[in-house]
Amino acid sequence: MTLVWAALACALVVPSVAAAASPLLAWRDPVYIAAGFAGVVAMALMLVQPLLIGRYLPGIPARRYRQIHRGIGGVLVVSVAIHVAGLWITSPPDVIDALLFDSPTPFSAWGVIAMWAVFITGCLALLRKPLRIRPGTWRMVHTALAAVIVVGSVVHALQIEGTMETLSKAVLCALILVATVKVVADLRVWKILNRRAG
């Protein structure tokens, strides 16, 4: 149990510490720094989310996994919003170009795609009961959106040469991908698709 939590803490803390020590932060505006670290927090949370939904973290009561997952999902939405809002304050033209998919930097498009997937997921989670979305349908939609979020965010992060240190960032992205693929495989979402297709 201790080893699992220590490994998770290391995977989350090392990239954050490395980003905080980046020389690229020198002379940067505080808003820009806050926006960047909101992005780092969002990436870290993307590793925790599949671990929670797959119940891979020891010591957590079974009934608490989904509650914590939903709570962290809300924090993830807020983190992405802060990331985008901070970048908007520091450089509105760049954000407009990104939102219009007219940015010369390829990582911008991936970030925007992931951003909208995060916001859509958050909205659907809030409206799930009022819209009476069935569990099977929610699982399929949520899994599809999660895949878009993970792939978009990982590509976005890897293409940016910013405050995150290269090696620790790559390891974090790899862990996010592995955890996501494992939980999708374990939940066997494709079986729901096959039943519906049949």
Q: What are the φ and ψ backbone dihedral angles of 10, each rounded to 5 degrees?
A: -65, -45
pLDDT above 80 (res 189): no
Return the CATH number at 140. 1.20.120
Range of the domain at 51: 2-197
pLDDT above 70 (res 196): no
pLDDT band at 57, cuts 50/70/90?
very high
Domain count, the chain: 1
What is the maximal distance between C-alpha atoms in the chain? 60
Distance CA(152)–CA(146), nearest Å, equals 10
Question: What letter would DSSP give residue 24?
Answer: G
- As given in the structure block, the two tokens for residue 46 are 């993307």
